Each structure stands twice: as structure tokens, then as C-alpha cells.
Chains A and B, each alone.
Chain A
Amino acid sequence: MNNSELAQILIRAVEEADSSERLLKAVQELAAAGIEEAVPTLIAALGYNNPGAAVAAVDGLIAIGEAAVSPLLQLIDDYNYGARAWAIRALAGIGDVRALDSLLEAAKTDFSLSVRRAAARGLGTLQWHQVPPEKLEFVQTQVLEALLLISQDSEWIVRYAAVTSLETLAIAVAVTLPDKSAQITNQLQQMLDTDADLGVRTRVRFAQQNVQQPQHQQAFAAKTKVEDAEVSR
């Protein structure tokens, strides 16, 4: 059986699923196959109001990667905010910079907090190497401005997500744009001093720790991987 035949069988199983459990299983199998032809069906699964199936579909779309980006971007305009949040999550997981404008707009203006949350996270997981070097500073400045704005969102979880992205951006620009890096450090400190939410403040402390010692973190992560490999052997 070739990929196309397999895709047809797995897609039909999703379309014919008659219970939420069967749907979940069918979407999981389709997602695990990692076939490009599955993209429209996986995207449809984001709107089924079945959180388990949506999680599996997001994972599948992230694994497929670039080929899923333009169909996902089309879905962002959809009326279904539930599906929109999952689509933004998938785009954030892929990190393709073609999604930048959608992520910026969603993070700053979407009425749904789960969309703003996913978009805020996505701004920190962009693949910077895809940006032409001469545009990089402009784009990173745009992202920083958006993150500074949404780190004052009224919802704690959006601020929490913004902190995770301020962290990765600070590490990305530490050497290239030291003044931006300092701006992020200041913002984090201000949030630690003034944010009303203990969960957000705790995430800020974690971010400060990671920004201060990214080298240590990386060394530690590498060491852990070696140890894991030894254990699994």
C-alpha cells in the first residue's frame, strides 16, 4: 500500500467515526502517519469540539510542518474561535515565519484568550533563521513591541505566555541587540515587582533564571541528554 492509499483509508476512518472515542482514535492514527494529504482532514478535526482529537491533530500538523502552514493561515480567518486557537497552536509549534503577521494580530487583538495565549507563545518559537538577515532586527523589534503590549493583558495566562516568549527572545537577541535584551530584562523585573498573579510572577523568576544563565542551561540540557542516553542503553 502506498502513502496515498493509506491516507485515504485513514481519512475515511475519521470521516466515518460515529463516537467521540472512535474519532479520537482515528485522528490519532491519521496524525501519526504524518502524510501531507492528511492536512485538510487534520485541520477539520480542530473544529470538532473534541479536545483529545484536536490535540492529536495539532501534533500531526506540527509534525508535517511547512506543508501545513498555508492551509492553517487560511483557517485563521474562520469564525470558529475554538478551531482558531488550535490552528494558532499548530502554527506556533511549526514556527514558520510566514505566520508572523497572523500571530502578531491574534496576540494583540483577538477577543478569545486562548487564541491570544497561543499566539503569544508562538511569537517566542519563531524560526529566526528563516528571516533574511537584513530584516531580522526589524522583525524582532516588532515581536518585542507586541510582547511588551500583551505582557499587560488582563488575563493571567496571556501574560504567562508572553513571559515565555520574552524569555526566548531575550536569549535570541542577547548578543545581537543588547539594548533590546536590556529592555526585556527590565520588563521582566517590573512584572516580578507588580504582577498581581503568583503563577505569572513565578514564571518570571524562571525566565530570569534562564535568561541569566542560558549557557548553563544548555550545558545542563546536553548533560541530561547524555545521561538519558546512558540510562536507555
Chain B
Amino acid sequence: MNSSPQKFEDLSPTGNFADGESLTVEEAIANLESADLGLRFYAAWWLGRFRVCEPAAVRRLIAALEDEADRTPEGGYPLRRNAARALGKLGDRQAVLPLIACLECSDIYVREAAAQSLEMLGDPVCIPALIELLQVGLQGEQLRSQPDLSQPYDAILEALGTLQATEFIPLVKPFLEHPIELVQYAAARAMYQLTQESVYGERLVKALGGEKLQLRRAVLADLGAIGYLPAADAIAKAFAENSLKLISLKGLLEHQVNNTATGTLSAGAIKIMNLMDSLL
């Protein structure tokens, strides 16, 4: 879960994988060590997309986090980015320490992918390393007076929220005022997860009425991730694609079900399903 648009890749009608090159699991794993850098890059994506959790895949993806062969003109590491993204989806905790090491990579997109995957893997051992990155944007417990743009703060904040890093609330909170709206939303999302205070959920609901479609899409994902029930009607009415609203509402629905002890459907769950039905 993150606030960047590509989180919807699996959903977009053009993301139909039947169009892509078809691989077997064995081929994909072998391709990670191919001489052809393009094949390596594609194989790393493919292993994540199809959640190939085999030990050989995990081992080679971890090795790919230290790749030096595939570089962009700006010095970025495309294969490392894809490998880091894939490892989050595979759910193998062996990847945690290597991903923590990636938080020191010179490529911001590798750091972003690592933070997102560490969030998905859910191991709080990465919290101190995330906090260290977060502090680049802070002077004490305040934002730097010259806003810092050098770190993937949205991914870092979201990970801290999901990982329940409650002792660091004072370091998360200042980012509510960050000049980049996506970072503000990530902070609101994390603050809600850390405090369960509705003021932060409402901040996201308000952002659903914003002018930019791209930002409304991000907020839909945020609300789904935190399962904020009072947002249900606003989500259903937001000006955005129904697909994204449905995913957001599904997040609310699953949150309701997971937090209802008995076998019966709660009133909230029924309300959400009626809204979802109307968006199909």
C-alpha cells in the first residue's frame, strides 16, 4: 500500500498480463541472471506480480538488490527497484534485512520501493531505519524551514503507520504540514493508524473533494488502507473511477469484517456492500 499511482497497476484495464510475455516460473527465476538486462528487469516484476514465493526466487531477488549492472543515465538502479517491489509482495521475511540496507541506496526510487515493501512485510525491526530517513526532513520535532524533498516521505510515513510505530508520533505529526499534498495525506493516514482519532480520517475525507484527480485517487487508496468507515458515502460520491472507489470500499469492508467478532454482518458492512453494489 502506498500513495503512488502505480499501486493501481493490477487494476487498470491495460494492465492485462495476457498481453505481456508469458514465462514459466523456472524461466523467470533463471532470467534474473540473464545476460539481457531487459529480461532481468521484466523477470523481477513478473515474480512479484504472480507472487512466486519459491526460495530460489527470493534468494535471487535479494541478490538483485545489490545489482550494479543495470543503471539509468542518472545513476538509478532499475533492477534493484523492481526486486525491492517484488520482495514486498512475496512475503518472505528473509528480505527484511536486505531491504533495510536498501534504505541507504543512492536511488530514491529504490528507497521508496524498500519502504513500501518493508510496510508489506510488517516486521517492526525496520522502524529505527525508517525513522532515521524521516529525520532528514526534520529539525528536532519540526519540519525543516527549507522543505526537504530528498526522501520518499509518503512511503516512509505510510510504513510507520502500518507498523504501529506509536512511540514516534511526534516525528510523524509535523509532516501534516509538508508542502507536498501526497506527503500530507500519508501523514494523515499514518496519524489515524497510530491514534485512531477521527480528525485525521476527516482530513482525508476533505481531501477527496480536492481538485486534482491524481490526488483524489491517492486519497481513495489511503482511506481504504485505514478502513475509515465514516468515509463510505464520500468515497462512493467522489469524482473518480468506480474501480478505485470499489477497491477503497473493499478496504473499509474488510476492516469491518476483521473487527467484528461474531459471524453476523454488521450494519456498517451491509451499508458498504450496498454502496459497492451501486458502483459496479
Contacts and interface: CB of A to CB of B under 8 A. Distances in A.
Given A114-B242, A157-B246, A209 B265 contact: yes
Contact of B16 (A111, A161, A206): A111
B125 to A, nearest CB: 27
B13 interface: yes
B265 A114 contact: no
B241 interface: yes
A164 B277 contact: yes
Nearest to B243: A114
19 contacts: A24-B239, A51-B239, A55-B239, A81-B13, A82-B13, A89-B280, A111-B13, A113-B11, A118-B280, A121-B277, A156-B250, A157-B243, A198-B257, A199-B254, A202-B253, A203-B276, A205-B265, A206-B273, A209-B265
B13 A52 contact: no
A38 interface: no
Interface string A92-118: 100000000000000000011111011
A160 B270 CA distance: 14
A144 B277 CA distance: 19
A206 B280 contact: no
A198 B11 CA distance: 17
A202 B269 contact: yes
Q: By DSSP majority rule, is chain B's interface helix, strand, loop, or mixed? A: helix
B240 interface: yes
B35 interface: no
A120 interface: yes
Interface of B: 11, 13, 16, 18, 213, 239-243, 246-247, 250, 253-254, 257-258, 265, 269-270, 273, 276-277, 280
A202 B13 contact: no
B223 to A, nearest CB: 15
A121 to B, nearest CB: 4
A161 B250 CA distance: 13
Given A81-B13, A202-B253, 13 more contacts: A51-B213, A85-B13, A89-B280, A111-B16, A113-B13, A113-B243, A114-B241, A117-B243, A117-B280, A157-B246, A199-B250, A203-B273, A203-B276
Contacts of B273: 202-203, 206
A50 to B, nearest CB: 8
Contacts of A51: 213, 239-242
A52 B257 contact: no
Given A51-B240, A206-B265, A160 B276 contact: yes
Interface string A11-29: 0000000000000100000
A202 B18 CA distance: 29
A199 B11 contact: no
Contacts of A52: 239
